[in-house]
Amino acid sequence: GSTLVQWIWGGFSVDNATLTRFFTLHFLTPFIIAGFSLIHLLFLHETGSNNPTGLNSNSDKIPFHPYFSYKDLLGMNLLTMGLLTLTLFLPNLLTDPENFTPANPLITPTHIKPEWYFLFAYAILRSIPNKLGGVLALLASVAILFLMPTLHTSKQRSATFRPFTQTLLWSLIADLIILTWVGAQPVEDPFTMIGQAASILYFTLILLLIPMTATLENKLLSY
């Protein structure tokens, strides 16, 4: 309720305390992600990667240089050129007009929206009329990703030879794209109803359809 909102804000409105703590969060998060990436690489170095069949792939290995080193350099150069082109020639292409409005703690902007990579969670939050329910749904939409390893019921590590799972995977990606689009739109019909339907499908795919399909594919493999 209002007590929780004021605790997060650090006051009765969005002010310096709110901006400071959210800036700190945004500043520290990339370093936390970098730390987890290093841990991921460390464990990957210990066990090695796998192929779609889950078999040992040592016999298929080729030298890192020049094959992979040139490939990585090409990708890095293309990414750097695209990023420089965007920032130097089209700096306002991905911004929002609301960002140019002077800040005023006494006036709430008509349409607040987060960065594009959080729009799917924002759309799920808006799909529930109740404030507490919306916040819980938002937290669940992110926390559910930590359950993905537990929900993996297939005997195969990859989805390369699992056409049903591939169909559901691309359905999930399409659903995320729809949620991202809806999150950037105003809170009005038909966007509200589309967001509610896409939110239900998001949780249904991850919690029910994908694990059940993997179990079905396991049974088909046993025949």
Active site residue ranges: 45, 49, 71-72, 115
Residues 120 and 205: beta-carbon distance below 8 Å: no
With b for 16 or more beta-carbon neighbours within 10 A and e for fewer, the 192-214 pattern comes to: bebbbebbebbeebbeebbbebb
Question: CB neighbours (10 Å) of residue 15?
Answer: 13
Helix axes 131-143, 119-126, angle to 10 degrees: 140
List the structure tokens of 1: 């309720």
Q: What share of the chain is helix, strand, coil (3-state, %, to 5)?
A: 70, 0, 30
Dihedral of the CA atoms 26, 27, 30, 32 (nearest 10)? -100
Q: Map residue 152 onto helix, strand or coil.
A: coil
Own/partner pairs, 178-182, CB within 8 angstroms, 24+ separation: 179/119, 179/120, 179/123, 179/124, 180/116, 180/119, 180/120, 180/123, 181/119, 182/119, 182/123
Alpha-carbon span 181 to 6, nearest angstrom: 30
Helix axes 163-183, 191-204, angle to 10 degrees: 150
